[in-house]
Structure 1
Amino acid sequence: MKKKSSNLILILFLLGIFMGAIDTGIVSPGRELIQNSFGVDRSAGTWMLTLYTLVYAVSMPIVSKMGDKFGYKKAYIFGIATFGLGSLLCGLSNFYGTFSFFLISRGIQALGAGGIMPIANAVIGNSFPEEKRGTALGLVGMIYGVGNILGPTLGSSIIDLAGSSHWGWIFFINVPISLIILLFSYKLKNTKAETQKPMDLAGAVVLAGVISSIMYALTNLDFFHFTTSIKATNVYPYLIIFVVLTPFMVFIESKAKDPILNIKYFKDKQMLTILIISFIVGIGMMGMVFVPQFSENVLKLKAGSGGYLVTLLAVFSGVAAPVSGKLIDKKGARFVLCLGFLFTITGTLFLGFIATKLLNFIGIFIGLALMGLGVGFTMGAPLNYLVLETVPKEESATGLATMSLMRSIGLAISPSVMIGFIVDAAKNLQPKLMEVLAVAMPKGMSMPAATSGSSSGAFKALQNADVTTIVPMLKTAITSMVPSQAKPMVAKAIDPISNKIVDTFQSVMNTGYTHMFVAAAIIAVCGFSFTLILRGKAEADNVIDDFMLNED
């Protein structure tokens, strides 16, 4: 392949990957602004993220199969054009639309996003010789990792510049990028699989039902209150739908001449292991979402400022991703994955046990640097390389989409798992603070028991407290529990122990973060263990032939 042609492919597809990556997080800082502007509550507002996740997960395997069948150029142009249109409509809804119109626009945007990542990875991976494939996919991993992590920071910056009432600009930014890609994409060749097999429409419909039902159920499932949560009407009916539809999906896809989801992927040991690792990586990724709040608690920063520390993750992830590509070409993808999981294990344990004791920027910096290296070595290049090495070339996009789907399911489960550790730790906050207050109270005055109705009611206001606001919020809560004549005396008694209150709050919450990071480390250990099962580079040479023989 000519150098200019290779560079054009990289630029066009990396632009699309970056655009799709930043959009996964760019909405986060504007979520409350958006829901407030439409006058909807938080439960309704979460649909702007939930709907996007569901449509994205459903569209990935379907659009990718369209790429295998009709050509990757056509599928990619469809993805970019649809994503750009959805972004434009999302932005316009800020000024002219309703919340329903905004949700429809988000669905259109997600439909396009589902055709960007797998197609881009397939074309880039197959456009370079095997000895340079890892390097190319390393660049993909760098762009995706940096874009994904910087999304929230970029969203905050755009809102600061445009103003909180003009949140639509976080979507408008995608429009010129989409137009640039579409303008130059006519030069791309429309490579596709040499097949005349009919499109698996029945499989597409059933698979959409299976994916959407399990994703929605897992999004609403609380793993720390599993027994109660699974009985909720937004969980168990969808699990039932998933259980009922899955056998039909297996039957349809096993009989289809050109299945949307190839059941053979789950029968081949190498591919099944790759999919399990992708699922594990998805679960572990959510630990990064809590880095801002963790950093604020450790460093005693005001709420919102911790988001900028995520930039450290992006920097080290951006450094590691291209290095991982080079290492893949020399050492193989299994070696790079193992290295990435080791970095992740070390980084999460450092944050959980060392940074929570040091309580300074150095501790945060070292932990985030190690985590960033772990993300750079596990996300993107190694898994993409392994899929392309394992499945037949004509199934590249389908194989990559299946891997991305498994990662998305992991991401859907992760919030319910990770947030549970923080919530569980917060249960100890009230009794610990009451112990501190009991020592400082004026003689003859006792605090209500931590389990009493008046105490519990007053402490409800502390649910939104952070390390910088706990003292004034606690003072308000406590003074509401005593007679009017005693309020000034109680408020004055709290001032000398304000530092003790802050330290207690910080310690209790850090315990929850420690447990969360330990869980993330255990998840990474599982990923490391499954990686050891993978065949090495030399052992994988005949995998595609095995697939072809199975087809026969």
Structure 2
Amino acid sequence: MTTTSGTSTPELVGGKKPWPALFALVLGFFMILVDLTIVTVATPTLIQDLDASVNDVVWVSSAYTLAYAVPVLITGRLGDRFGSKRLYLAGLTVFTLASLWCGLTSTVGALILARIVQGLGASIMTPQTMAIITRIFPPHARGKAMAVWGATAGVAMVVGPILGGVLTDGLGWEWIFFVNVPVGIVGFVLALRLVPSLPTHEHVFDWLGVALSGVALFLLAFGIQEGHQQDWAGWIIAMIVAGVALMVAFVLWQRANKREPLVPLSLFSDRNFSVSTVAISVMGFIAASFGYPLMLWAQAVRGFDPTHAALLMLPMAMMSILLAKPVGDLTDRLHPRLILGFGFAISMVGMLLITWRLTPDAAIWEICVFQVLVGIGNAFIWAPTGATATRNLPMQLAGAGSGVYNATRQVGAVIGSAAIAVLMDSMLAHYLPGASASGDAGAAQIADPQAADLFSQAMQHSLLLPALVYAVGLVAVMFYERPQHAGFAAAPRSQPAPAAAAD
């Protein structure tokens, strides 16, 4: 393919053809994001069938999110260099084959290894989806297209546990991975036929940046998750400190690199891009963390099977689906501070109410009503965040911006899954000494009323973490500035807004 600086193929701009390409990409994107949370509801089953601890099973998710997050910065650039479509198809192939491997494993160690490979496939795919959408849609249609992409992420995060419950209960935990095989094949055929091959760009790859960011993230995630298990030994503390130091070194290197840094810091001169990266990392954290306490409570305290436990997520999923289009339509007309401020506030309230009612005698309808609130809030977060993040980025930074945006979401997910593992382990050790190490408390229903009450309290305190992180997101989105793109209802067109009114 001839290298050029063109931004899109003429036959796709302004017509209907970009939309079939979008939906082909969304199928694969949906699948890899479902796998971030699909394991959550199968936690008790995996504990029992694989003779594993709670922390071991959380590593089944953490290994995926870590392998997903570490390379995603460089894979965005690789798509710019070798072709986003080629990279997407290669990543989809790796992901599909690794899914088959996951289902065929019989030990938790082998499952973790297969999940690492699966995460690598996902990391190759994800930035290509966002970069392709940015390049094939004209500016006036890009907001709606990115809204579909962002809404897909939100829906996938809550559909994962539901699908995981149905498959685990009906066919066995292996099928939460086997189901990816036919979907992956269909997704490959659709992408091959419908997604355009776009012009490529020459890049100088920042391999030092890749090494610094990857090692830093691994040290931080491993140290945080294993800290409680290892009684916060000196070597654990040293890992965390080293991770922080390497992350600082990474940022300094990105500033000093005058050729082509892995993360062009100029991206963050756009305040809305910067705020969006904070907001999406918060959502990654929450999506990777809140399901574990809820699913363990439903199965260990209430005695639900995986399917019925997962159905607790259905109200949240339905609201995310029903509101995706109307909220997407708002992204071109309303200030993102209003949309996302409402979203984070209502989600935080809903999560706090769930935490309050997560008791052995709680009425299930109450939990479902509060899940509706969280679902409404999430619908006002996912799509607008994705649309706002990339709207003002120059086309030549599409790959870099996509990589950074997706990397920050995955960093949030890595830290979220590690943090919730530590917190649940600590809470179980406090309320039910001995349960945290063996995982027995989460493997079957707890018959003793006093133990059930104590287990519920442990899960309640654990759920306070995602509620608190929603509050962090709420504060962050208050810093959004007024969008400047053409067609925004509140933006002046004749002259720039005065500095005092820019927000």
**For the superposition of Structure 1 and Structure 2, which TM-score range results when normalised by the shorter chain?**
0.7 to 0.9
Larger relative contact order (C-alpha < 8 A, sep ≥ 6)?
2
Which residue of structure 2 aligns with residue 396 of structure 1?
398
In 2, the alpha carbon distance for the partners of 1:44 and 1:429 equals 20
Deviation at 1:382, TM superposition (A): 1.9
The CA distance in 1 between the partners of 2:347 and 2:310, in whole Å, is 20
Q: Which of 175, 181, 191 does residue 198 from structure 2 map onto? A: 191
- Give the TM-score taking structure 2 as reference length: 0.79
Structure 1 unmatched runs, 5+: 431-455, 472-501, 543-552
1:115 aligned onto 2:124: yes
Task: Compute the displacement of 1:531 (Å).
Answer: 0.9
Cα offsets for 1:360-414 (capped at 9, x unmatched): 23321221000111222212x2222222124322222322322222232323333
In the alignment, what sits opposite 1:464? 441
Q: CA RMSD in A?
A: 3.9
Shift in CA distance, 419/213, structure 1 to aligned 2, threshold 3 Å = closer
Relative to structure 1, the CA distance from residue 241 to residue 519 in structure 2 (aligned partners, 3 Å threshold; closer, same or farther) is closer
Cα distance in 2 for partners of 1:359, 1:44 equals: 29
Shift of 1:190: 2.2
Cα distance in 1 between the residues matched to 2:425 and 2:56 = 22
Match of 1:498 in 2: none
The structure with the largest helix share of the pair is 1
Say yes or no: does 1:315 pair with 2:318: yes
Q: Is the 8 A contact 2:358 2:460 kept in 1?
A: no
1:279 counterpart letter in structure 2: S
> After superposition, what is the alpha-carbon deviation per residue over 1:195-228, rounded to whole angstroms, capped at 9, x for unaligned?
4332333332333222322232233345xx9xx8
Contact 2:161–2:310, Cα closer than 8 Å, also in 1: yes
**For 1:174, which of 174, 180, 201 is the aligned residue?**
180
Deviation of the 1:113 alpha carbon: 0.3
Aligned equivalents of 1:88, 1:151: Cα separation in 2: 18
Structure of larger gyration radius: 1
Aligned length: 473
Cα deviations across residues 267-317 of structure 1 (Å, max 9, x unaligned)?
Answer: 65443333222333333332244333455689x454644222112221112
Residues 316 and 221 of structure 1: CA distance in aligned 2, closer, same or farther (over 3 Å):
farther
Mapping of 1:84-483 within 5 angstroms?
A: 84-93=96-105, 102-162=111-171, 164=172, 167-187=173-193, 188-192=195-199, 195-222=201-228, 229-231=231-233, 233-237=235-239, 239-244=241-246, 246-247=248-249, 250-251=252-253, 254-266=256-268, 269-285=271-287, 286-294=289-297, 300-302=302-304, 304=306, 305-353=308-356, 359-379=362-382, 381-415=383-417, 417-418=419-420, 464=441, 469-471=446-448
Quick one: structure 1 residues 338 and 462, their matched pair in 2 at CA, closer, same or farther if it must change by over 3 Å? closer
Read off the aligned partner of 1:533 and give its amino acid letter.
F
Structure 1 residues 335 and 125, CA gap change in structure 2 (3 angstroms): farther
Residue type of the partner of 2:176?
Answer: I
1:85–1:505 Cα change, 3 Å: closer
In 1, Cα distance between equivalents of 2:111 and 2:327: 39
Match of residue 453 from structure 1: none
Q: Of the candidates 66, 70, 80, which is equivalent to residue 54 of structure 1? A: 66
In the alignment, residue 388 of structure 1 is paired with which amino acid?
A: T
Percent identity between matched residues is 21
Q: Deviation at 1:321?
A: 2.7
- Secondary structure, in 3 states, of the residue corresponding to 1:114? helix
In the alignment, which residue of structure 2 is the partner of 1:14?
Answer: 26
The one-letter amino acid paired with 2:283 is V
TM-score (norm 1): 0.73
Distance 1:278 1:246 in 2: 21
Paired residue secondary structure (2:346): helix
Relative distance call for 1:332 and 1:120 in structure 2 (3 A) is farther
The alpha carbon displacement at 1:65 in A equals 1.3
In the superposition, relative to structure 1, how do residues 377 and 232 fare at CA in structure 2: closer, same or farther (>3 Å)? farther
**Structure 2 residues without counterparts, runs of 5 or longer:** 1-12, 492-503
Distance change >3 Å, CA 423–CA 44, structure 1 → 2: closer
